[in-house]
Amino acid sequence: MIDIRRGIVALLALLALLGVAAADAPPRIASVEVPAGLFIAGSTPRERETAYRLDEKAYGHDVTRRRQWYANEPLPMQRFLPAYRIMATPVTNRLYARFVAATGHRAPFISEPAWKAQRLAHPYARVRGYLWRDGKPPPGKEDHPVVLVSHADAVAFARWLSRTTGHRWRLPTENEWEKAMRGTDGRMFPWGDAFDPRRLNSADAGPFATVPVGRFPAGASPYGVLDGAGQIYEWTATPAAPGRHVVKGGSWDDKGCGVCRPAARHGRPDGVRHILIGFRLVRE
């Protein structure tokens, strides 16, 4: 019964998010309430070991273990957060296009030399399918999550959305993001402790590309938040180091999927524009 209710909440949120509004009307933003209270943040050594084993089984090597990808996750700790609302899905190309049209902000794009200068693993041929042209998103990807956005782009979008809607929107802190995706009980994935490739867009069973947001209602968090594992990494407001911020969530490029756990964390340079990174916002 709980799963049915969660699915209904997620579906209603998605329908609201994809609703068509007049061009001059404020955007309709589907958001989910996360109530005030304690939640368990971080991970146990057992959870991290399980994550490494998932990766090793999927990839056939132990690179994530040797590079200690999950070693910087704090031990489980109860943390208190006041109530807030968070977008039900990542920001879509369709919504981001309204921001670009209204403000003249740079559309998501990166040249081949700039892409190569970032020294990322993906070849530029894979990037071309995500490039915007003439201020418009790639055809057929209007309801996919926006990518190729820097941390500053996400902050600028939040400022525009705040002015447009009259509500204060901002990037979530790492703790706010983590609680929204796993609830209060410290579960390993949004839906529970067992990895299930049918519940997310990852390289285990997905198309090895972004898909329209909200396609995996069975992967909803206890609050009904969608796409909290896989699909794309998401910027947070939490610094990882000077000039870097924490990203969370895993992506369509990952399998295993140890990095798709809400407790998993790593930093990215603020200026990076990646086909694996987008964002969602919280409303106070």
Q: What is the pLDDT of residues 219-260, one digit of tens each?
A: 999 999 999 999 999 999 999 999 999 999 999 999 999 999
As a whole number, mean pLDDT of residues 71-82 equals 98
pLDDT at 20 exceeding the cut of 50 = no
Task: Give me the pLDDT at residue 260, please.
Answer: 98
* Average pLDDT, rounded, for the chain: 93
Strand ordering across the sheet containing 282-283: 31-34, 84-87, 282-283, 169-170
Task: Give me the pLDDT at residue 19, please.
Answer: 42
Greater pLDDT, 8 or 37: 37
Q: What is the pLDDT of residues 31-60, one digit of tens each?
A: 999 999 999 999 999 999 999 999 999 999
Task: Give me the pLDDT at residue 2, please.
Answer: 47
pLDDT at 6 exceeding the cut of 70 = no
The domains located in the chain, with CATH, are 2-283 (3.90.1580.10)
Task: Give me the pLDDT at residue 26, please.
Answer: 85
